[in-house]
Structure 1
Amino acid sequence: MEQRHRPAAAADDTTKRRATKSKSFKDVENYEVLVLEKNCGCKFKSLRYLLIAIVSATFLTLLTPTLYERQLQSSSRYVDVDWIWDKTGADPRYVSSADVQWADVYTAIEDVSAGNRELKIGLLNFNSTEYGSWSRILPESHVSIVRLEHAKDSITWPKLYPEWIDEEEESEIPSCPSFPEPNGRRGAWFDVIAVKLPCTRVAGWSRDVARLHLQLSAAKLAVASSRGNRKVHVLFVTDCFPIPNLFPCKNLVKHEGNAWLYRPDLKAVREKLRLPVGSCELAIPLKAKARLFSVDRRREAYATILHSASEYVCGAITAAQSIRQAGSTRDLVILVDNTISDHHRRGLEAAGWKVRIIERIRNPKAERDAYNEWNYSKFRLWQLTDYDKIIFIDADLLILRNVDFLFAMPEITATGNNATLFNSGVMVIEPSNCTFQLLMEHINEITSYNGGDQGYLNEIFTWWHRIPKHMNFLKHFWEGDSEEAKAKKTQLFGADPPNLYVLHYLGLKPWLCFRDYDCNWNNFMMREFASDVAHSRWWKTHDKMPRKLQSYCLLRTRQKAGLEWDRRQAEKANLEDGHWRRNITDPRLKTCFEKFCFWESMLWHWGEAKNQTKSNPAPATPATMSLSSS
C-alpha cells in the first residue's frame, strides 16, 4: 500500500498551532499554580466555595420545575402539575384566545380582596404563565390551580341536546353523557373561582361543549365552597357573555373589559346543578308521581302578549279561562300595544288578564310589514320584575291540566322543538331588567334561524331544560307519521279526563274557523294541522265561558267571506276528506257586529281589482288573516 506523506509545511503549521495551544494551557497552569501557591495557606477555601456555588446553581436550575411543583402541591388544595408543564396535550376545545387584561381583573376583584387580604383563589383553565401573574397581582392571596379533565370528544352539542328522546320510556330510558368533575381534596373551598372561557366569536359560539363544561365546573366549585354566610365569587375571563341563566346578570357584581365577576345565588345554583346537563333527559319525568311546587305564589304569574293585530284576542281570552278551569289561581298578565283597542282590553280584563301597555320592539332584520316585524316585543316579558317567575304561554293554546308546578323550574324550561332548540310557546322565564338589556344589546348581531323571537332566544339561552312534550303538545301531524301515530295523537287530543297538559293550536286557529269543523282541511297547504277532535276540544272550553266573553270570538264579515272562499276552493279540488260538503250551522255566520254585513257580495268580486275599495274590500284568505304561531 502506498504510504501517505504529510507536506513539511503542514507539519510545521501543526507544530506551531500545538505550540501556541500548549503555551496557552501553560499560562493557565502557571496562573493556577500561582493561585494555589498564593492561597495554599488558606487550604483552598476560595476555590472550594467557588466550585460549590457553581455546582449548586446548576443543580437548582435543573430542579426548578420540580421545586415549583412541590411548592404548588404544598400550597394548593387543587393542583394538576402535569397540566401546568405539559402543553403538548392541550385540548383545542378548551384553549381560550382571550387576552387577559390584568388591570381589569384586579379592578373587578379588588373589592373582594379589600375585606379579606388572604383570599383563596381557585384557577380553572389558566396556564402556568397566567398562574404567575395571579400571584403577582394578589401576593397576599392563596392561589391554586384546579385540575379538570377534558370532556370526551364523543360528547357533542347534539348529544347533549338531541332533537328527540323517548320521553315515555317505551323502548329506552334517556340518559345524558357525563362531564368529568373538578378534582380536589374533600372539604376544600375557595373565596373566588376564576375561569378562562373559550369563545370563537363565530356563529353558534354559545353551543360549545368545553365552554359549558367549564361553567358547570365553576358552579360546582362555588357550591362546594359555600359554608354558612361565606361569600363566594366566580370570575370569568371571556370575550363573550357567560351562560345568562346559569350566571344571571342580576348576580353580576362588576364587569371590566373581558372580566366578569359574579356573586351567584348558591341556593339557586345548587338546584340547577341537580338538573340534567342538557335536554338529553327530562328535567321533569312524564310519569313522576309527585310534582314540585314553589313557595311565594304572589310573585308568580302566567303571561302572554298581543301586538300589531287583534285577531288573537279571542284566543287569549279562552287561554285565560282554560287556566282558571284547570284550577290555577296565579296572576294572569298580558302585554298589549296600542293596536289593541279599549274594547278588546276590557274583554281581556274581564277574562282575568291584568293588562300592561307596552311599546313594541321592532325586529331590525325583518322586512317592513312582515309577520315578524314586531315579534321581538316578547322581550318585554323580562321587564315584569314585580314577579320572580313567569310561565309564558302563546295565546293560541289551551291549558288542559294545571301546570303550576312549572313555577318551581328555572329559566329556561321548555319543550323541545327541532334540532337542539326549544319551543318558546310555553317557557319559564325569570324577569330581570338586565336580562332585557342583554337581549336588546345583541339584536343587530344575532340572526334568528326562523326570523322570529324563538330563533333569537335560542341563540341567547342555549342551556335549557327539557319538559315533556305533553306540556306543550303541538296540534300537528308530521308528514312521516304512521296511521298508528296519527291515531295516538288524535286520542290524546280528545282524552277525557285529559292526558295532555297543554294543547298548542298550530295552523289556522279554531276561533277563526267555523265551529262545525277544522278549516285547515280546506287549505291543501294547511292540512297537516287539521284535527276535528282538537278543534272540538277548543270549542268545549269556549262554550264554558260567560256569553259576554264569547262575544269577543265573533267572526268579522271579511273572515266569513274568506272561509267560504276556501271551502269553494276545496270543492273545486274535490279534496277527498269531504269536509267542504258539510253544512255550516255555526250561529256566528248569521251574527254581525259591523256596519257592513253582506259577506256574500265580497265573493262576487273576489280578485277583481276594480271593485276593491276601502268601503268594500276583497276578503283576505284565511292564511293571511291569521297570525302564524311562533
Structure 2
Amino acid sequence: MVRFQWNLYEWRIDRLLDMGWWTKVGILSLGLNALFVVQHLLHRPQRSTLFSHWSSLHNIPLVDPNAVHDLHPLDGHKNMVATAFFTDEFATAVAALGASLTRANTTARRVMLYIPEQVSPRGLCIASATGFRPHPVTRIAPPPGGEDVYAHFIDQYTKLRLWEVGEEVGARGVVYLDADTLVLRNFDELFALPYPLAAGGDVYTNRRGFTLAFNAGVLFLRPSAAVFRDMLRKIPEAEFWRHEAEQGFLNAFFAKDVVRLPYAYNANLAIKVRAPRMWEGISKEIRVIHYTMVKPFTRDNKDYALVPMDELEANARRRASEEGGVFVEEMEAWAQAWHETYATYGEKLEGCMALSNKPGQHAT
C-alpha cells in the first residue's frame, strides 16, 4: 500500500515535469493567488466605524442630576420644541410642522432659530405663522471654509446654538425637529429623559444600512451655554466625517454617551426602503416622520425653490410617484397636513405674501 502511494506520487511528479512551460506558470500563478486571498482574509483591516477613532471630547455626566430631581419634568414652561429656519425655501415646511405640533397637543413652547441676513420678512412671517417664536442667531460657518460640507448642510453648524439659546430662554429640555419633519403623535414623554442627548439611529438605503451613528434631524438635549462653547472649541480637533457638518460633529462629540431613541421618534423615510416590514411595525407608533428622501414641499431633490402655497398639496401628491411610489401614504399625510394648515392659518399666511421677499430686510 505504501509502495503504491509512493509510485502514485512519483507518477504525479513525472507528469508535472512533462507539462509545458505555460502550464507550470499557470499552476504557480494559481497557487500564489490562492495564498494571497487566504492572507487577505486572515489579515484584512477592520471596517472603520463611529468608534474607530473615538476620543473623549467632553465631561458631561451621562445622567443629568437636575432632571432626576425635577418633580415636574413635563412642565411646558420648562420645555422647548425648536426648529431651524435658514433659507426661505423651507418656510411652508416650518409652517406645516408648527401646525402639526398644535394638532399633537404638545405642552412645550416653540422657538425657531433663524439667520436674519438669510431669510426674508415674507419667509419669516410664513414660518412663524403657526406657533414658532422667531429667535435670531448668528450663523456658525463650517470649518475650514466649508469646502468639505455638502451644499445643503452649509448652514447646519448653526444648529449647535440650540445649547446656547435653550439656556438663554430658560428651557430645561429641548426637542429639536428639522424643518422636513412632521409630527404625527405627541412626544412630550421625551422631556422626562435624564440624559444630555438622545437621538435615533441613522439609516441609509445603500450598503451602510442601519448604522451606529445617529441622525441629527430629531434630537432631545439638555441646553447649556458652557457645553455650546466647549463644542465650538472642540470642532477643529475632533475627527469626524465633515461632509455631514454638525451631524458628523455631534456624533464625535457625544459618541458613546448619546442615548438611542426608538425609530418611531425619527421615522426616516429610508427605513421604509431599507426594511419595509420594520416600517410597517412602527407605523402605528410614529411620533415624528422625517422626509429625508423625498420632500413634499419642494419641486425635486435639487430644486428647493419655494412652491406656491396653493400648489403644495398637488406637489406632494405628484412627488408620491418617485422612488417607485413607495412613499404614497407619507406624501398624502403631508398633503393632508398642509390642507389642514391652510384651512386654519390661510388668512395669516396670505397676509405674509404682502411682505418683502428679499432676505435681511427685517428688524431683529
TM-score range, shorter chain: 0.5 to 0.7
Letter in 2 for 1:415: G
Show structure 1 runs of 5+ residues with no match. 1-157, 164-201, 207-240, 248-264, 272-291, 555-591, 594-630
CA contact (8 A) 2:80 2:109 kept: yes
- Asked if residue 532 in structure 1 is aligned to residue 324 in structure 2, the reply is no
Q: Could you tell me which residue of structure 2 aligns to residue 489 of structure 1?
A: 279
Which residue of the partner structure matches residue 191 of structure 2? 407
Give the conservation status (yes or no) of the 8 Å contact 1:294–1:408.
Answer: yes
Relative distance call for 1:395 and 1:245 in structure 2 (3 A) is: farther
Equivalent residues of 1:319, 1:399 under 8 A apart:
yes
Select the residue among 465, 484, 504 that pairs with 2:290: 504
Alignment partner, residue 171 of structure 2: 387
Q: CA deviation at 1:500?
A: 1.3
Match of 1:317 among 92, 95, 107: 95
Partner of 2:270: 476
Matched to 1:300, the amino acid is N
Pick from 437, 443, 458 the counterpart of residue 251 of structure 2: 458
Contact 1:476 1:530 in 2 (8 A): no
SS at match of 1:345: helix
Structure 1 residues 218-250: Cα deviation after superposition (integer angstroms, max 9, x where no partner): xxxxxxxxxxxxxxxxxxxxxxx5432538xxx
**1:306-346 per-position Cα deviation (integer Å, ceiling 9, x unaligned):** 11x21111111111111110111321100001211112222
CA distance in 2, matches of 1:546, 1:474: 25
Larger radius of gyration: 1
Cα contact 1:318–1:541 (8 A) shared by 2: yes
Question: How far 1:461 moved relative to its partner?
Answer: 0.8
Cα deviation 1:144-202 (Å, max 9, x = unaligned): xxxxxxxxxxxxxx9xxx99xxxxxxxxxxxxxxxxxxxxxxxxxxxxxxxxxxxxxx9
What corresponds to 1:432 in structure 2? Answer: 224
Question: 1:474, 1:505 within 8 Å by CA — same for their partners in 2?
Answer: yes
1:372 pairs with 2:153: yes
Q: Is it true that 1:443 corresponds to 2:293 in the alignment?
A: no
Aligned to 2:62: 246
Partners of 1:415 and 1:303 in 2: CA distance: 17
Q: What's the CA shift for 1:393?
A: 0.7
Distance (whole Å) between structure 2 residues aligned to residue 518 and residue 323 of structure 1: 25
Give the distance between the partners of 1:461 and 1:369, measured in 2 at CA. 22
Q: Residue in 2 aligned with 1:580?
A: none
Aligned to 2:125: 346
**Shift in Å, 1:446:** 2.0
1:245-289: CA deviation from partner (whole Å, max 9, x where unpaired) = 538xxxxxxxxxxxxxxxxx7565799xxxxxxxxxxxxxxxxxx
Equivalent position to 1:543, from 328, 339, 356: 339
Distance in 2 of aligned mates of 1:510 and 1:553? 18
Task: Note if 1:361 corresponds to 2:140.
Answer: yes
Instruction: Provide the secondary structure at the position in 1 that maps to 2:247.
Output: helix
How far is the alpha carbon of 1:533 from its aligned partner?
Answer: 0.8
Amino acid at match of 1:375: Q
1:600-615 matched pairs, under 5 angstroms: none
**Aligned in 2, Cα 1:342/1:467: closer, same or farther, shift over 3 Å?**
same
Corresponding position: 1:421 with 2:188: no
Given that 1:415 and 1:472 are in contact with CA atoms closer than 8 Å, whether structure 2 keeps it comes out as yes
Give the drift of 1:549. 4.3
TM-score by length of 1: 0.40
| Distance verdict in 2 for CA 1:270–1:540, change over 3 Å | same
Q: How far 1:542 moved relative to its partner?
A: 1.0
TM-score (norm 2): 0.66
SS of corresponding position for 1:334: strand
CA contact (8 A) 1:397 1:504 kept: yes
CA distance in 2, matches of 1:511, 1:531: 14
Cα drift, residue 456 of structure 1: 0.5
Structure 1 SS opposite 2:81 = strand
CA RMSD of aligned residues (A): 3.5
**SS at 1:424 equivalent:** strand
Aligned to 2:40: none
Contact 2:98 2:132 in 1 (8 A): yes
The letter of the residue matching 1:351 is T
Assess if the C-alpha contact under 8 Å between 2:74 and 2:188 holds in 1: no
Structure 2: runs of 5 or more not aligned: 1-46, 203-209, 300-313, 355-364
Number of the residue aligned with 2:53: 203
Give 1:540's aligned amino acid. Q
Higher helix proportion: 2
Matching residue's letter, 1:539: A
Residue type of the alignment partner of 1:344: G
Distance 1:314 1:245, change over 3 A: farther
Encode CA deviations 1:446-483: one digit per residue, 9 max, x unaligned.
Answer: 243243211100111120112211111111256654xx
- Number of aligned residue pairs: 276
- Of stretches 385-394 and 342-351 in structure 1, the one that deviates more from structure 2 is 342-351
Change (3 A) 1:530 1:341: farther
